[in-house]
Chains A and B, each alone.
Chain A
Amino acid sequence: MQATPTRVVPDARGRYGPYGGRFVPETLMAAITELEAAYTEARQDTDFQARLADLQRHYIGRPTPLYFAEKLTAHCAGARIYLKREDLAHTGAHKINNALGQALLAQRMGKRRIIAETGAGQHGVASATVAALLGMECVVYMGTEDMRRQAPNVFRMKLLGAEVRGVEAGSRTLKDAINEAMRDWVTNVAGSYYLLGSALGPHPYPMMVRDFQSVIGHEARAQALAQIGRLPDALVACVGGGSNAIGLFYAFLDDAVRMVGVEAGGHGIASGQHAARFADAHLGRLGVLHGAQTYVLQNDDGQIALTHSVSAGLDYAAVGPEHAYLREVGRAEYTYATDDEALAAFQLLCRTEGIIAALESVHAIAHVTKLAPELGRDAVIIVNLSGRGDKDLQTVATALNVQV
C-alpha cells in the first residue's frame, strides 16, 4: 500500500496533488482566507473540540453502531459484511457530522445566517437542524427537480425553521443549487456562512468536511478492532461529492485496507445518463467546477454535463478533489452501480436485514454483493450505510411501479 503521499494533503494552496485549489470570484477570496484561519484555530481549540464531541455524543447519538449484517453476509456467500450505521445518526444520515461541525465554526466566527445547498435533502435537513439548535437563520437552496423527488425532506426543513429556495436553472438538481448558494454567499458574504455539504468546493471546504466526517472512520476502526479483533480487508462507500466515503476512508489511509468508492452508474455508462465521473473516460475529464479542480462530467467544449441518478445525493457532475487524488496515487479504487443495481440492493437490504437504507447508500451495498464473494469468507468488509431511506420511498415506489 502506498501510505506516504496521502497524509500531507492538502498543501497550503489547498491542493491534493493537481486537484483542489480555490477557483472562486475575488469577492469571496477574503472570506475564504478568513474561514481557513478560523478553522485552523478551532481545530486546535480544546474547548471547541470538547463541545463538538459532547454534541456528537448526546445530540447526534455517536458512536453509531458497527453492525454485523449476518443475513446479508449469508446471502452474498462471501466476506463478512459490517455496516457502519450512519443511518442511525440524528436526522438519519452522516450529513449531520459535517453540518454540526461547520455550524459551531460559523457561530464561533460570529455569523448569524447559514446558507446551504442540498441534493437529496439530507444535508439541507442537517443544516436546518443545527441552525435550529444554535439559533441561526438558515436558507437552503434546492433544485426543483430534487424538491419533487425528495418532498418529505423539504417539509422537514420547513418544520425546522429553514427557508427552502427552489432553483429552476439547468437540470434543477444539486449543481444548480450550489451555483445559487454561491451567488447568495457572494452577495451576503459579510454576515453569512456557507455551509457546504460535501467534500467539494474551494479550499478549505474539502479538508474541513473530511475532518468533520472522519469521525466515521475513527469510530469504525476502533469498533473493528474491539468487535472483530482486526482491521477490515476492504471499505466500501458511495461517492457523490464523496463526504461519507472520505469520512470512512480517512482513518484507514495508513492501513493495509482496500478502499472502494461507488459512483452512480445511472442508466449505464454508455447511455451518458449517469454521475460516474471516473468510469466515463469520454465525459469525465479533469476540469474546474464550484471552486475545485477535479474530475468533472462535461462536453468537449467544457460545458458541464447534465447528470442522472435515481439517488439525488449522487446526482452531481464533479467528485471531491481528494478522491481524484486517492485514485491517482492508487490508494483508493472507484467503480459504479447502476440505478437498477441500486434498487435491487435497496430491496435486498430491506428483506435480509430489515433496514430501509438511502438510495445513495445502497449503491455501496450493490457493489458489496459483487465484492463479498470475490474476497471470500475469511475477509471482512465495512460498508458505510450513510443514510436511511424514508425520504426515498416515493422514488422507489415509482421505480417499482407501485402505487402508495
Chain B
Amino acid sequence: MSRLASTFERLRAQRRVALMPYLCIGHPTPDAVLNIVPRAEAAGADLFELGVPFSDPLADGATIQAATQRALEQGASLDVCLSQARALRERGVQAPFTFMGYYNPMYQRGLDRFCGQAADAGVDGLIVPDLPPEEAHDLAQAARQHSVDLVFLLAPTSTDARVRLVCQQASGFLYLVSLVGVTGARDSLPPDLERFVERVRAQTSLPLAVGFGIGDPVQAGRVARIADGVIVGSAVVRVADRAQDPPAAVAAFIGQLRAGIDQVAVPT
C-alpha cells in the first residue's frame, strides 16, 4: 500500500481528518520549505502538497501565481524541487509529499525518469492540474512503475460519467476542487459543496480531500465534516509571504487550522 493510502487509512482509524497544506518550493526564500515543512508537521499537518513552479500556472489564482513566479526567479528548478524533497526526508519528515505541478516540466524531464527521481526523493504522489484522465495514460504508467500515486482532480462541473471515469483511474486519494474557478482563498465556501462531495462519495471508497478556496479554521472545519482531507494552499502561501519568520508563522496557522478541523465531529 502506498504511503498516501496508508496515511489516510491510519488517520481514518484515528478518526482524524487529514490536513494538507500547500507550500511552493522556493518561496518565500529559496530554501524556506526546508524549515517550514518540519515545523508545520509538528503543528499538525498530516500530508504536504509541494508546489513545483511553472511559468504558466493557468489553474492558479494571483497568490500562487506570484509565489511560483518568485520561486522561479530565485532558481527553483525541477532539480531544486527534487533535492529539497529529498532533504526534507533526510531531516526526518515522515508525512507523505505530493508534488503539485503542471505537465510540461515533467514531460520535458521524461515521464519515466521524472517519476523515478520523484520516488527516489521521497515523493509519494503527483497532482497535475492540467492533465485530465483522458491525457494521463503515459504519466499514470510511469508513476505506477515507480510506485508513485497519480492523484486526479474532480470539479463541481464533472459529470457523473466523468466522476466514474476518474474514480476508475485514481489512486492514493481524490482531489476535489471545491469551487468552479482557480486556486485562492475566498470569503465563503460554495453552498453546494456537501452535495458535490456526496456525489463523489457514492462512486468510490477512495479518501476524498477537498481544496481550493479554503482559507481559515472555520472553513476548514466545515470541510472536515464531509471530507477525509482538507487542503489549504493560497492562505498558507500568503502567511508565509507576509511573515517575518515564515516557519513560525506557518506553524501557528497550521495549529489554528488543525484546531478548526478537530473541533468538528469526524465521520466514520
Query: Restricting to A290-311, which residues have a CB under 8 Å from any CB of B?
Result: 290-291, 296, 298, 300-304
Query: Restricting to A169-196, which residues have a CB under 8 Å from any CB of B?
Result: 169-170, 175-176, 179, 182-183, 186-187, 189-190
Contact stretch, chosen from B155-163, B237-245, B259-267: B155-163
Q: What residues of A have a CB within 8 angstroms of the CB of B107 in the complex?
A: 287-288, 302
Query: Restricting to B65-117, which residues have a CB under 8 Å from any CB of A?
Result: 65, 69, 72, 77-78, 103-109
Closest CB in chain B relative to A313 CB, distance in Å:
19
Query: Restricting to B124-174, which residues have a CB under 8 Å from any CB of A?
Result: 129-132, 134-135, 152-159, 162, 166
- Contact call B155/A298, Cβ cutoff below 8 A: no
B190 within 8 A of A: no
- Contact call A26/B108, Cβ cutoff below 8 A: no
C-alpha gap A25/B72 in the complex (Å) = 22
Q: What residues of B have a CB within 8 angstroms of the CB of A186 in the complex?
A: 58-59, 180-182
C-alpha gap A357/B107 in the complex (Å) = 39
A30 within 8 A of B: yes
C-alpha gap A189/B180 in the complex (Å) = 8
Q: What residues of A have a CB within 8 angstroms of the CB of B14 in the complex?
A: none
- Contact call A27/B105, Cβ cutoff below 8 A: no
- Contact call B54/A303, Cβ cutoff below 8 A: yes
Q: What residues of B have a CB within 8 angstroms of the CB of A169 in the complex?
A: 65, 69
Contact stretch, chosen from A16-24, A320-328, A389-397: A16-24
Contact check: which of A13, A21, A30, A170 meets B158 at CB < 8 Å?
Answer: A30
Contact check: which of B77, B154, B181 meets A187 at CB < 8 Å?
Answer: B181
Taking CB as reference atom, which chain A residue is nearest B128?
A23
Q: What residues of B have a CB within 8 angstroms of the CB of A296 in the complex?
A: 104
A37 within 8 A of B: no
A285 within 8 A of B: yes
Q: What residues of A have a CB within 8 angstroms of the CB of B103 in the complex?
A: 23, 288
B61 within 8 A of A: yes
C-alpha gap A301/B26 in the complex (Å) = 15
B56 within 8 A of A: yes
A160 within 8 A of B: no
Closest CB in chain A relative to B138 CB, distance in Å:
11
Chain B window 33-74, contacts with chain A (Cβ cutoff 8 Å), 1 for yes, 0 for no: 000000000000000000000111111010001000100100
Contact check: which of A23, A289, A298, A303 meets B132 at CB < 8 Å?
Answer: A23
Size category of the binding interface on chain A: 35 or more
Main secondary structure of the interface of A (DSSP, over half): mixed
Q: What residues of B have a CB within 8 angstroms of the CB of A176 in the complex?
A: 56
Q: Do A301 and B56 form a contact, CB below 8 Å, given A27-B155, A169-B65, A187-B180?
A: no
- Contact call B159/A288, Cβ cutoff below 8 A: no
A134 within 8 A of B: no
B177 within 8 A of A: yes
A350 within 8 A of B: no
Q: What residues of B have a CB within 8 angstroms of the CB of A132 in the complex?
A: none
Q: What residues of B have a CB within 8 angstroms of the CB of A133 in the complex?
A: none
Q: What residues of B have a CB within 8 angstroms of the CB of A187 in the complex?
A: 180-182
- Contact call A13/B78, Cβ cutoff below 8 A: no
Q: What residues of B have a CB within 8 angstroms of the CB of A300 in the complex?
A: 108
Q: What residues of A have a CB within 8 angstroms of the CB of B134 in the complex?
A: 13, 21-22, 29
- Contact call A303/B59, Cβ cutoff below 8 A: no
Contacts A25-B177, A31-B157 supplied; 15 other A-B pairs, CB < 8 Å:
A21-B134, A22-B135, A24-B130, A24-B132, A26-B153, A169-B69, A175-B56, A288-B103, A290-B56, A291-B130, A300-B108, A301-B78, A302-B54, A302-B106, A304-B55
Q: 14 interchain pairs (CB within 8 A)? A: A25-B58, A25-B153, A26-B154, A26-B166, A169-B65, A170-B55, A183-B58, A183-B182, A186-B182, A189-B180, A287-B104, A300-B108, A303-B55, A303-B72
Chain B residues engaging chain A, CB cutoff 8 angstroms: 54-59, 61, 65, 69, 72, 77-78, 103-109, 129-132, 134-135, 152-159, 162, 166, 177, 180-182
